Amino acid sequence: QVQLVESGGGLVQAGGSLRLSCAASGRTFISYAMGWFRQAPGKEREFVAAISWSAGSTYYTNSVKGRFTISRDNIKNTVYLQMNTLKPEDTAVYYCAVRPGGGLRVDHHDYDYWGQGTQVTVSS
């Protein structure tokens, strides 16, 4: 079993920045991908960003390109999401997820393990 714990969410004004962290513990996987998703009230969970095991490959949804950066530290088993120039439409609960076996995917059904989520609220 894998446990994921997100942190770093909070309330920020539009144009501000936040850095989310997701620490993984328990069973570890060689060559697993990690992703960030978000879910706003009344909306479906949507893909934000994903990163490969080696961090050599990343992928972002169009709405966050140029503003968000995903990275990882495999020694610490932690993935990060640096969010800059935040907008009110970025307001959501943000979740990290693990996809054993690697491969960057945008469908949340392709990820096996999930954190509990951290709230990000961007005020206008």
- Provide, rounded to the nearest whole percent, the portion of the chain with pLDDT above 70: 98
Question: What is the average pLDDT across 32-43?
Answer: 95
pLDDT digits (tens, 9 = 90+) for 39-65: 999 999 999 999 998 878 999 999 999
At 62-95, the pLDDT tens digits run 999 999 999 999 888 899 999 999 999 999 999 9
Rounded-to-integer distance, Cα 51 and Cα 59, Å: 7
pLDDT at residue 58, rounded to an integer: 96
Half-sphere exposure of 75 (CA within 13 A, CB side): 0
pLDDT of residue 101: 78
